[in-house]
Amino acid sequence: MGPGGDDEQELLRSVALQNAQSILLARRRAEAELLKTKEELELRSKELARSLSMMRATLEATTDAILVTDAQGRVTDYNEKFVALWNLPRAVIGSLDHRRVLDHICPFFKDAGQCHAKIDAIYAASPLESFDLLELTDGRVFERYSRIQFIEQQNVGRVWSVRDVTERRRTEDALRDESRILELLNQTGTVIASQLELRALVQAVTDAATQLSGARFGAFFYTSKQANGEELLLYTLSGAPREAFDRFGHPRATSLFGPTFRGEGPVRCDDVTQDPRYGTLGPHHGMPLGHLPVRSYLAVSVKSRVGEIIGGLFFGHPEAGVFTDRTERIITGVAAQAAVAIDNARLFQRAQDAVQLRDDFLAIASHELKTPLTPLRLQIQSLSRLVGKGELATVPPERLRSLTRIADRQIARLTSLIEELLDVTRISAGKLRLEREIVDLVRLANEAVERHAVQLALSRCVARVEAPPRLEGKWDPLRVEQVFTNLITNAARYAPGKPIEISVRQEAGEAVVAVRDAGVGIAEQDRERIFQRYEQVKSTASVGGLGLGLFITRQIVEAHGGSIRVASGPGPGATFIVRLPLDDQPR
């Protein structure tokens, strides 16, 4: 081999060495890059695992039940709360088949038949977000929310969250209900406080309380005292026509209704038909046929400030369990407000009645007091003219006696009117006093007839007394004499020209006096009214008077512990019957 061959060989070795070094360097670089890539991949893998762990932790930490589906609705992820919420078997959720999941979940919903259709509609329409409320058959309420997830602007599925909002909804409903109740209470208080007409007031109370209680219908049964002292049981209704009650009459004081009318506290029944107090009395043994359907029942007494039971509020609903403790407290409060308002309305009515009585009295008194003054003035003027002319000595004695009799009669009438007014004042002030002593009632009757002989003669009446020789008792003689006077003069005024029969007898420890006239009689509807002040029996003739005689007579008789009534009818005569105890103790 020549000299050139060695150089060539050396060159080749050098090139080979350089190539090898380059390859080694490239390999090392590649290995370094590979190592770097591996480290980056491992780092990214760890970060991804950490992200997945964080996502999983977030899914499990949220209070919502979460389900993740792909764009076709297949299950891709979920949290344990979703499994627990629906009590999903692992086999169902593990299948990742959203149809099987829906088949398990849908029966929980009230609208179970539309469950699949609603989900399919959401996937078909693909709204960015969807929200609805789910009502479950067990009464719970859920919020369901879903949102599309995008990766590189591609729809990759939806995330569904379900939240139990039952308590929140109940709280919101309770707050709304509380606001409604407060508003109604304020309105009720305003209406009650501003109303002074009794009927309008109790109707407003009934309407407001029915609305506040949530009852289907309500009634307010209450007592109203009439001018004649009679108490009537009236009622107002809300939520039902009046004919729904008219044919059944007023509730009786049964074991169920009685406590309310006695003021023994509220009565509340979740189902009145199951209450042991229900249906114990005939003839219906419960609600009569055609009665409004009642299962839930609530009744509250309305009691005045002095403890008087004014009436009762009654509420009903055809469903069971409608009224609660809270309902009872609210209605009890309304009943207390109503009691105060009714007291005020009654006071206002009494004030109006007093004003009317005053006006009636002034009208009657001015007329009646003027009536005897006119003839009295005429007689005095006649005497004055005779005196002025110096002719008094020439007047026949009979003429003078006639003038003085007329004047005496008018003075007596004025005196009687004034005495009646004074008696009414004493009675109103509670100062009608009795001076009791042993007295013969028969003697008082005969003396009363003798004392009014002139008036009886003028009225063409003959009075006859039928009595035993004596009948003694401990009474106020002047007041008992006043009773005889009022009854006899009353008979003479209303039955002129007719006989008057007076009987006195003893009966079962009582003295019984009966004064009978033969006049036109007294209609049944007037028999109580005529004993009120300023009241008179209506007749075709004007009989005058203040309308106080029978009122004063009753007060005197009752002050003695006795009673007075009238037995009559349209027809022949009226009989006033007075009963007085023979002892000195009021009955």
Tell me, yes or no, whether 407 lies in a domain. no
Cα 250–chain centre separation: 16
pLDDT digits (tens, 9 = 90+) for 135-164: 888 888 999 999 998 888 888 889 989 998
Asked if the model's pLDDT at residue 563 lies above 90, the reply is: yes
pLDDT reported for residue 197:
76
Strands (DSSP E) found in 136-230: 141-151, 154-164, 217-225
Identify the weakest region by mean pLDDT among 185-199, 249-263, 335-349.
Answer: 185-199
Question: Two tokens at 92?
Answer: 């169902």
Alpha-carbon distance of 572 to 541, in angstroms, equals: 17
Q: Closest Cα to residue 113, out of 83, 131, 137? A: 137
CATH number at residue 456: 3.30.565.10
Question: Which pLDDT band, with edges at 50, 70 and 90, does 515 fall under?
Answer: very high
Domain end point (choices 323, 352, 381): 352
CA–CA dist 504, 349 (Å, integer)? 42
User: pLDDT class for 586, splitting at 50, 70, 90?
Assistant: very low
Each residue's pLDDT tens digit, 351-396: 777 667 666 655 555 545 555 566 666 667 777 777 777 776 776 7
Which of 164, 184, 218 is the C-terminal boundary of a domain? 164
Q: Which tokens sit at 383? A: 């005497």
Residue 584 and residue 587: Cα distance in Å, rounded? 9
Residue 57 shares a structural domain with residue 74: no
CA distances from 111 to 68, 87, 92, 106 (A): 23, 19, 22, 8
- Say what percent of the chain tops pLDDT 90: 12
Residue 151, CB-side half-sphere exposure with 13 Å CA sphere = 5
Same-domain status, 508 and 553: yes
545 and 446, same structural domain?
Answer: yes
Answer with the residue of higher pLDDT: 339 or 473: 473
- Tokens 């005197």 sit on residue: 556
Q: Which residue has the higher pLDDT, 580 or 11?
A: 580
45 and 90 housed in the same domain: no
Asked if the structure places residue 411 within a domain, the reply is no
Is residue 116 domain-shared with residue 202, that is, in the same domain? no
One domain, residues 41 and 122: no
Asked whether residue 476 falls in the same domain as residue 486, the answer is yes
Q: How confident is the model at residue 469 (pLDDT cuts 50, 70, 90)?
A: very high
Q: Is 491 exposed, middle or buried (0-12, 13-18, 19+ CB in 10 A)?
A: buried
Q: Are residues 57 and 86 in the same domain?
A: no
Q: Which of 352, 379, 401 is the last residue of a domain?
A: 352
Digit-coded pLDDT (tens) for 414-425: 666 566 656 556
Residue 344 C-beta-side C-alpha neighbours within 13 Å: 14
Domain-located, residue 378: no
pLDDT tens-digit map of 394-414: 767 776 676 676 666 666 666
Domain membership of residue 362 (yes or no) is no
pLDDT, residue 430, reads 62
Q: 434 near 471, Cβ under 8 Å?
A: no
Of 177, 263, 170, 244, nearest in space to 212 by CA: 177
Is pLDDT of 171 > 70?
A: yes
What is the structure's pLDDT at 541?
Answer: 41
pLDDT tens figures, 519-557: 888 887 777 878 876 566 654 444 445 567 788 888 888
Same domain, 20 and 88: no
Strand partners, 217: 316
The predicted model scores a pTM of 0.45
pLDDT at 448 over 80: yes
Domain range enclosing 247: 192-280+289-352
The verdict on residue 428 lying in a domain is no
One domain, residues 51 and 149: no
Alpha-carbon distance of 403 to 396, in angstroms, equals 11
Token pair belonging to 511: 């003295």
d(Cα 60, Cα 469) in Å, to the nearest integer? 112
DSSP at 291: P
Query: Residue 451 — pLDDT band, cuts 50, 70, 90?
Result: confident
